[in-house]
Amino acid sequence: MNILKNYHYGIPKYELSEKVFGLFNHVADNWEHTLLRGFDDTFLTPHSRYTEIKRYDIEKVSDLEILASSEQAGINIVADKSGRQIFITGHFEYDRLTLNNEYIRDINRKLNIKLPENYYPNDNPNNNPVHKWCAHANLFFSNWLNYYVYQGTPYDLNTLYE
């Protein structure tokens, strides 16, 4: 197993034997965090990756907080205590067909790839995927822009790190 170190905090990334690929349910580890304001009890996030980070490695870093995770996909959202650094392993930014296009690409490359989990209705790639994560994606980015960029950035940038 190859282990890569995260640039900012030295947290290892572990290679997986199989791609985490699909649409996965997540829950908040901290419902009171501003980035998750207005989120439902569970929310979906697309994932497409061959690596993971482990909860116990993140919990060793006192400046970091796990905000959301999934039993199937693992850690999804991590932030530092200041809110200036936010790390996401999922892909809120994916549109309806991104996982579909990745699946077709991988099939055409003759890769050993499974269907994206929880993505196609009835697990049939001929069915058009339902875009079920868009509202939470927009809410997440709206919360970030409002609370951390707009409200959290001082008028005088020289005072930003005071």
Residue 49 contacts by C-beta under 8 Å, 6 or more apart in sequence? 16, 19, 20, 89
pTM over 0.85, yes/no: yes
What does DSSP assign to residue 159?
Answer: G
Residue 3 has pLDDT above 70, yes or no: no
- Please tell me the distance from the alpha carbon of residue 128 to that of residue 123, in angstroms, as a whole number: 10
Q: Please name each of the domains of the chain with its CATH number.
A: 3-154 (3.40.50.880)
Residue 31 contacts by C-beta under 8 Å, 6 or more apart in sequence? 39
- Please tell me the distance from the alpha carbon of residue 154 to that of residue 92, in angstroms, as a whole number: 28
Give the model confidence (pLDDT) of 116-157 as tens digits: 999 999 999 999 999 999 999 999 999 999 888 877 666 676
Give the model confidence (pLDDT) of 13-35 as tens digits: 999 999 999 999 999 999 999 99
